[in-house]
Amino acid sequence: MRSSFIGNFTIKRSGDACAGIDIEAEDAVIKGNIITDNEYAIYISNVNYTVILENIISNNNLSLWLSYSYHNNISNNQFFNDGIFIFNSCYNIISNNMVNGKPLIYVEEEANKNNGRGGTNHSHKMQ
């Protein structure tokens, strides 16, 4: 059973240094939201097993922030003038996301690789 469900909301202008959605519980689901014009669109730190699915995320200062978090699923989201920031997090599923109409390609344990597909390539290398 999931601990929290946030779905089908429009979340905008949450204020300076605030997140549109700030997740502090594991096993949450964030689905089908429009998240725009916030400091952070979605802020996740030290949280595992969260599902972020089918959201539209646009024009936030720091976009989707994922740090010290594992086994999360970020799939089928659309980002406009936004993206994903990942820090000290691994074993996450990041798939089928689009950034400004192009595929977001996430490669874990690789650095400085050219994907050759014209999409946005975010690489993460754990030290």
Give pairs for 40-48: CB < 8 Å, separation 24+: 40/64, 40/65, 41/82, 43/19, 44/69, 44/72, 45/69, 47/23, 47/72, 48/72
- Distance, CA of 26 to CA of 10 (rounded, Å): 22
pLDDT at 99: 94
* Confidence (pTM): 0.83
pLDDT at 121: 47
Q: Are strands 19-23 and 40-45 parallel, antiparallel or unpaired?
A: parallel
Pick out the chain residues at pLDDT < 70: 1-2, 107-127
pLDDT at 116: 58
pLDDT at 123: 45
